[in-house]
Amino acid sequence: MSGLVNKIKTFVGLAPEYDDEDEIFEEMYDADDEYAGTSTITSPITRKKNNLKVLSHPSSGSYEVMVTEPRSFEESLDIVNNLREKKTVILNLHLLDAEQSQRIVDFLSGATHAIDGHQQRIGEGVFIFTPNNVAISSETEKARVIRDAFWNQPH
């Protein structure tokens, strides 16, 4: 019973001061043992302090680029799911006719806009679609010529 009272005190902010973390874990486990048969919820805390597990965060900074060459419009839903999973998609439409290519690009453009993503044409029949956590930067030929002229001037 004292374990339950201490849990309530801890929740309210009236918990006793502990000098050692082991005391905290022991008290928690003692309270779990008192009520072991009454709960079906499992605690994410393991039984021993040295067995605590560290879980990776789903958005730990890894990025993935998917290159896809769809053969029909039906594959565009899979492409949208990749975008929703925060994957960048490079779309190569060289296997499709102009009408199907236009349908897929229109569909993916709408989906990309809906998730606040970005899109850009990067070649003949090749497009890049990115989720909102990836920005697209591009440099036009005109901007490159101006930059090169500026940096290559004699000083």
Q: What residue spans define the domains of the chain?
A: 2-51, 65-130
Q: H/E element holding 83?
A: helix 76-84
Architecture of domain 65-130: 2-Layer Sandwich (3.30)
DSSP-derived 3-state class of residue 129: strand
CB proximity list for 1: less than 8 A, separation 6 or greater: 34
What band does 75 get if pLDDT is binned at 50, 70 and 90? Answer: very high
CB half-sphere exposure, 99, CA atoms < 13 A: 0
Spatial contact of 35 and 68, defined as CB atoms under 8 Å apart: no
pLDDT digits (tens, 9 = 90+) for 119-153: 999 989 999 999 999 888 877 777 788 878 877 76
pLDDT digits (tens, 9 = 90+) for 90-111: 999 999 999 999 999 999 999 9
Q: H/E element holding 110?
A: helix 98-114
Could you tell me which residues are beta bridge partners of residue 92? 126
Residue 127: Cβ within 10 Å count: 20
Mean pLDDT, the chain, whole residue set: 77
For residues 116, 121, 127, 133, the Cα torsion angle rounded to the nearest 10 degrees is -30
Spatial separation of the C-alpha atoms in residues 27 and 4, rounded to whole Å: 10
pTM of the model: 0.54
